[in-house]
Amino acid sequence: MIEHRSLKNTDVKEIHIAFTDAFSNYEVPFNLTYQELTYLLERRGFNQEMSYGSFCKDKLVGFVLNSIEEWKGIPTAYDTGTGIIKEFQGKGIAKDLFAFCIKDLKKKGMQQYLLEVIKTNTKAIQLYKDLGFQICKDYDYYVFAQSKLNYITSKNSFDINIEETSMMRRNEIEQCASIDPSWQNSFTSIHRKIKNFTVLKASIQGESIGYGIIEKHTGDIPLLAIHPDFRNRGIGTSLLKHLGSFSQSEQIKMINIQSDYKPFKELFRSLQISPGKGQYEMILKF
């Protein structure tokens, strides 16, 4: 007998046990420690009361871990992690759990539900479509060795100043960026753990013309943006190399880059770095 209910009274350590089991045979395995999982959830805005689990005799066998915030002015739930432990996979639990989850989210005032799914996970994509989700964005991701940046030479001819800054001037960054960030790359997500990030600003004669942000311990770069008037001149390459020097990880990651965004495709093609299999962003409007 499977029971679905909120995770508000479930110990996060129990969630971590189920999470580890559920993703141990996943296409891209997650092997997160308890501390790494809690950090990830905190950065993304985890709301334990509005997250849900499937229980068999009080054992957590499935979960939907949701984050909650106003997303582009709309009350939104974001699925930051869904899984069923191996013993209970293939029994239709995920579909029932999502149906329970969606019903309760509606009741609590959410107006839409957002998630990301790896493109090759066709079973999950079909499940989400059956529940009413629609694909709204196509994302690439790039993961490469930090040492790759040691061999990059910038071809820019400008006298560029790249310096660390404690000021995230959102209006300046938005003037440089041409695409909206995904949930995990948003200003809100970054600010939740801002002490773990380094923010770099590129400028010419005191004028800001680019920004980059890196999460030092993971090597995750949630933002790399050059003002449109200064693109294709090697500035992005210079900024990327500077960001890499702050990484404490041997890998550099840029996740959820819109696949139709040509500046990034051209940048990584010039660096001979190929994208991974990518993800879809999907949304369900209530």
DSSP assignment letter at 227: -
- Mean pLDDT to the nearest integer, 61-80: 97
Q: What pLDDT sits at residue 156?
A: 60
Half-sphere exposure of residue 193, counting CA atoms within 13 Å on the CB side?
Answer: 23
Q: Which of 75-84, 151-160, 175-184, 200-209 has the lowest mean pLDDT?
A: 151-160
Confidence of residue 157 (pLDDT cuts 50, 70, 90): low
CATH fourth-level superfamily of 141-278: Gcn5-related N-acetyltransferase (GNAT) (3.40.630.30)
Per-residue pLDDT at 50 exceeds 70:
yes
Query: Which has more confidence, 50 or 28?
Result: 50
Q: What pLDDT sits at residue 22?
A: 94
Per-residue pLDDT at 234 exceeds 70:
yes
Question: What does the alpha-carbon distance between residue 150 and residue 39 come to, in Å, rounded to a whole number?
Answer: 29
Read off the pTM.
0.93
CATH topology agreement for domains 2-110 and 141-278? yes
Confidence of residue 255 (pLDDT cuts 50, 70, 90): very high
Distance of alpha carbon 247 from the chain centroid: 18
* Axis crossing angle, helix 12-22 with helix 34-44, rounded to the nearest 10: 100
Q: What pLDDT sits at residue 191?
A: 93
| Domain definitions of the chain by residue range | 2-110, 141-278
Q: What pLDDT sits at residue 222?
A: 96
Confidence of residue 28 (pLDDT cuts 50, 70, 90): low
Confidence of residue 189 (pLDDT cuts 50, 70, 90): very high
Q: Say which residues have a Cβ less than 8 Å from residue 153's Cβ, sequence separation at least 6.
A: none
In the predicted model, what is the mean pLDDT of the chain?
A: 93
Q: What pLDDT sits at residue 232?
A: 84
Closest CA to 144 of 217, 238, 234, 244: 244
Confidence of residue 271 (pLDDT cuts 50, 70, 90): confident
Q: CA angle at residue 272 from 154 to 250, to 5 degrees?
A: 80
Question: What does the alpha-carbon distance between residue 159 and residue 178 come to, in Å, rounded to a whole number?
Answer: 24
CATH fourth-level superfamily of 2-110: Gcn5-related N-acetyltransferase (GNAT) (3.40.630.30)
- Mean pLDDT to the nearest integer, 201-211: 92
- Mean pLDDT to the nearest integer, 5-25: 95
